[in-house]
Amino acid sequence: MKMHVAGKWIETDKVIEVSNPYTREPVDTVPSAGPSEVEAALASAERGAKVMADLPAHRRAEILKATAGLIRERSEELARLLTQEVGKTIRESRAEVQRAATVMDLSAEESGRLYSETIPLDAAVGGEDKFGFTLRVPCGVVAAIVPFNFPLNLLTHKVGPALAGGNAVIAKPASDTPLTALKLTELLLAGGLPPEAIQTITGPGSSVGEQIVADSRVRKVSFTGSRAVAEGLTRRAGLKKLSLELGSNSPVAILADADLDLAARVLTTTGYANAGQVCISTQRVLVEKPVYEEFLERFRPSVEALVTGDPMEEATQVGPLIREKEAKRVEDWIRDAVDHGADLIVGGTRWAGIVSPAILGSVNPSLKISCDELFGPAVAVTPVEDLNEAIALANQTRYGLSAGVFTRDLDQAKQFMREVKSGNIHINWGTQWRVDMMPYGGLKDSGIGKEGPRYAVEEMTELKMVVVH
């Protein structure tokens, strides 16, 4: 596939091969951009930003709604492409495509909600006979940098609100999974988007991404990815608006009064969907000691029943990790936990890029598999004395993206909700749950800012204060 720069689909001498994580066979190639292509994209985006700023809100909404319709029309094609480049199951890919269309619809609605307000300046001495009001205006050029795990839906969460707010966008997909981003660009253009309003540029993040982020013509950067990359990005970005949606090692507490069948069933989904490659995957489970063994008795058969294999098969529930080296890393983390006293209750074997869904019991909370972000299909279970210890361990991390608790006691649920330092809290559910209109983002090292079209549009616009004297 070609990349879209300066209103044209272009190639370069160097290419990046995109491989199927399951078969390891080539799917396609994309250009590997260099400094000149990035400069062309930046210059074009600056021109596109002026076009978008002049585009009325109803027209921006029409473009986004048309794109949503085209996503739905081509949903099966997009889902199959997602599975080919990401390795997620075809059922998960179909769900991602439908969510992407929803995000575009929600963004279209926000085009007409860029409200202003009047300010009662006469409330201040000297403000008599003054009239004040605010204006919300586009940032200009928005850089949208997305990871491999949800390359379509996460891109719509950036592109949709940016265009709704009247901006131009430079999209930088992950090198492992650029194909659906390029397809989305095709659909946006088919939906009527001005050609210079979207640049989708492919190439190494270490060069392409850094050049985009550091450029002064980019006013807003929206990044989803790892904490380590985000730290470097913020240093290079300088005085820009930033939204950072980063990683986590999301905890779930299971209290003695919990519905254990519900917990086992839910965590089988929230711990292993997309082979655990979700920033809000349930990674740590903190179980009160009186029900620890009983919970494992229910959790184990549920996880054992998960079907692994070819993600294109309808029955498959867990496919490969994005690269074999990531599967080897997950395998190493599991072995490290066992070497340091954890019990391997089920799974943890690897063949090629697939790791069988694993449960580790009696996990010391100081172990790597509990402290760092695993991004793989394994859940670490730790017994705790009570809710207070569960909350303390939930907070014993640099992260704070999503957390959950299972309990029938409203007071305990309220204590967990108040005291756990996390951007998303789930009562009687796992951590991996999101609908696209909700405010979504983390605390601490899990990020800055909120996604969800209503909230993202505010992040992707500027507020002016006007005083009429």
Active site residues: 245, 279
List the structure tokens of 216.
């002064």
Which residues, in sequence order, are CB contacts of 350 under 8 Å at separation 6+?
327, 328, 330, 331, 356
Closest to 200 measured CA to CA, from 166, 172, 175: 172
User: Quick one: residue 348, left, alpha or beta (phi over 0 = left, psi -120 to 50 = alpha)?
Assistant: left
Q: Distance (Å, rounded) from C-alpha 188 to C-alpha 71?
A: 9
Alpha-carbon torsion angle 20, 21, 22, 28, nearest 10: 0
**Whole-number Cα distances in Å, 304 to 262, 289, 425:** 16, 23, 27
93: Cα separation from own chain's centroid: 15
Judged on CB neighbours under 10 Å (0-12, 13-18, 19+), 235 is exposed
Q: What residues does 253 pair with on adjacent strands?
A: 286, 405
184, 169 Cβ separation under 8 angstroms: no
- In SS3 terms, 29-88 reads as EEECCCHHHHHHHHHHHHHHHHHHHHCCHHHHHHHHHHHHHHHHHCHHHHHHHHHHHHCC
Residue for token digits 């090292």?
445
Smallest CA-to-CA distance from 201 within 2, 50, 48 is with 2
Supply the DSSP symbol for 291: G
DSSP alpha helix (H) spans, 74-139 = 75-86, 90-110
CA distance 430 to 14: 43
What is the distance between the alpha carbons of residues 20 and 26, in angstroms, rounded to a whole number? 6
